[in-house]
A and B are shown apart, each in its own frame.
Chain A
């Protein structure tokens, strides 16, 4: 079984500040981990994913995440927040890269204050 816990349903940061969104997972098999972003009234867009190999993963829009097996974590970071980063962010886990379902966390709403 797989599950995802996202700590903090709402995170607020100032423009230019560090963004840190937390994600912990549980998986009985080696996990594939994903971060998706959802803008209002839109579908989900993939930000980045971890499959195998390098544990620090870089994604679009300046986001990156680090897979830490010992901590069962996959936190999302961005050094400097931009107003356009305001959105809902979802962490997800899967048993492989594409052909098995994603199990999502509850999501974290990111607000960016000018």
Chain B
């Protein structure tokens, strides 16, 4: 398996634009997590899904953020409109019962 695949690896966008981050989890994993990493706040959980159902989205900063998992092999995290303070590295992770595996992250810069 190729592991958790995130795209794009890097994204630079202007303030106010819509940004969509994508994640393909490992086949057979039934949980998917979106985390955000910043220097100030470290690694924070944004939202997670079990069996494609959102379980906890209390970490989503505000209504500008939304996440979907339409099927077991794909998830998106959307920011609309984007702001400079959204600049961070966004990680997707998928897990079986044993262990979580992380993607390489998307580095988002909002200018």
Decide yes or no whether A45 CB sits under 8 A from chain B. Answer: yes
Which of A11-19, A64-72, A102-110 sits within the interface? A102-110
What secondary structure prevails in chain A residues at the interface with B?
Answer: loop
Number of interface residues of B (CB under 8 A): 24
Residues of B within 8 A of A101 (CB): 33, 45, 48, 56
Residues of B within 8 A of A105 (CB): 42
Decide yes or no whether A97 CB sits under 8 A from chain B. Answer: yes
What secondary structure prevails in chain B residues at the interface with A?
Answer: strand
Contact mask A85-101 → B, CB, 8 Å, 1/0? Answer: 00000100000111101
Question: In the complex the two chains form, is A98's CB within 8 Å of B43's CB?
Answer: no
Given contacts A98-B31, A99-B30, A99-B31, contact A44 B102 (CB under 8 A): yes
Q: How many A-B residue pairs have CB under 8 A?
A: 51
The chain A residue sitting closest to B45, CB to CB, is A101
Question: In the complex the two chains form, is B98's CB within 8 Å of A43's CB?
Answer: no
Which of B65-73, B80-88, B89-97 sits within the interface? B89-97
Interface size class of A (residues with CB under 8 A): 20 to 34
Given contacts A43-B91, A104-B42, contact A97 B98 (CB under 8 A): yes
Decide yes or no whether B13 CB sits under 8 A from chain A. Answer: no
List the interface of chain A (C-beta within 8 A of B). 36, 41-46, 49, 90, 96-99, 101-107
